[in-house]
Amino acid sequence: MENWAEKKEEEENQFQRLPDDVAVNIFNKVSDMKWLCRSFVVCKRFASLIPLVQKVSIKANAGDYLSIPRDFHKLPSSPLNVWGPEILAKLTQIRSLNLDLVSYFVADNDSVFKWGAKLASHFDSLTLLYAASLSKMKESEEEKEEEDDETDYERTQEEQICRFHLAFDCAKEVMLRPRILCRVILKYPMLQSISITDSMNKGVRLYLEGEKLVECRNAIMCPEEAVPRTQENMPVWVGSVPVLQLPKSGYVMKGVTIVHVSNGDDSESDAQLAMVDAFAEEQGVFSEAVVQILKNYKDSIKIFQR
């Protein structure tokens, strides 16, 4: 026991002897806010070095990011008594930031869904793609799927309504992101890149760097003015496909629903382009599915006014 304690003390002393820039580089590699908070209270030296960290990753509820105090000097001194975003406010040198938002989407266990959105300083549109099942397509099934009775996979009205509500649950969460972006970009002028993800990995990652980040920063006058109000009656496009084959990826989706919510008076072609763009970064089965739906089942998509 004594040998273990001596070894631990020796390791701590070795870390204490590291030059400041080396110690800060180690903290940058750690990046996780949970561990940075714990390191903050280890000793006064760490507490003085943590604010110099340039790369941070933090997981919290969206509301926590929107509650970052405007006056940083009024923050509690101990990070153990505050939320991660409030500690984040102390890190004035941040250049790279990843925000992982906790999400609470509810759907059938066997189902798969993904959403993508067009947004930066404000919310433009959201596309949700939902499938009752996703499975690998066997060679012997490729022709058989087309011959199967598709009525087996028709969705009931109740199921369609549930998916419709799921899309708007996603939209409500997505609408918080421009406000978060505005708040973070204004607070951290040295920021060079920012990504926002969700804990369930149901949304396509929002990532801004370089010119896109500069454009977003220039568009922001203040958080309240940067985010226009959403329309009271947003146009919604909804389409269903009983069986959707994805030849490029070799998968088949069954019981597919696509929902597109727009915050503007988009034309049909604008809406279709936004649907494709929503999954452009994902470049996987969902991206292919949207392309296939618009190519072969475009007539199934109808517009509604919410």
Residue 142 clears pLDDT 60, i.e. is over it: no
- The pLDDT value recorded for residue 250 is 92
- Which pairs with CB-CB distance under 8 Å and at least 24 residues apart come from 269-275? 271/125, 271/235, 271/237, 271/303, 272/298, 274/118, 274/124, 274/125, 274/127, 275/127, 275/237
Comparison of pLDDT for 230 and 18, the residue scoring more? 18
Window from 192-201, 208-217, 231-240 with minimum mean pLDDT: 231-240
Q: Is the pLDDT of residue 123 over 90?
A: no
Q: Which residues, including other chains, have CB under 8 Å from residue 108's CB and lie 6 or more apart?
A: 132
21 burial via Cβ count (<10 Å: 0-12, 13-18, 19+):
exposed
- Would you place residue 297 in the very low, low, confident or very high pLDDT band (cuts 50, 70, 90)? very high
pLDDT at position 283: 77
Give pLDDT, residue 289: 94
What is the percent of the chain where pLDDT is above 70?
A: 72
Stronger pLDDT, 158 or 151, i.e. the higher one: 158
Question: What pLDDT shows up at residue 295?
Answer: 93
pLDDT of 24: 87
Least confident span in 48-57, 58-67, 102-111, 223-232: 223-232
Closest alpha carbon to 225 in 69, 121, 89, 117:
121
Mean pLDDT of 203-225: 76
Band (75; pLDDT cuts 50, 70, 90)? very low
Are the C-beta atoms of 190 and 175 separated by less than 8 Å?
no
pLDDT class for 42, splitting at 50, 70, 90? confident
Mean pLDDT of 171-188: 81
Which of 69-78, 109-118, 151-160 tops mean pLDDT?
Answer: 109-118
Domain residue spans in the chain?
13-94, 112-176+227-305
Give the pLDDT score at 162.
Answer: 78
Grade residue 73 by pLDDT with cuts at 50, 70 and 90.
very low
pLDDT digits (tens, 9 = 90+) for 235-273: 888 898 999 999 999 999 998 999 998 877 778 888 889
Average pLDDT over residues 100-118: 74
**Which residue in 157, 218, 145 sits closest to 182, CA to CA?**
218
pLDDT at site 296: 93
**Contact in structure between 203 and 117 (CB atoms under 8 Å):** yes
| Per-residue pLDDT at 165 | 78
3-state secondary structure of 278: helix
How far is it, in rounded angstroms, from Cα 17 to Cα 190?
A: 29
Tokens of 69: 């105090």
**Mean per-residue pLDDT, 162-175:** 77
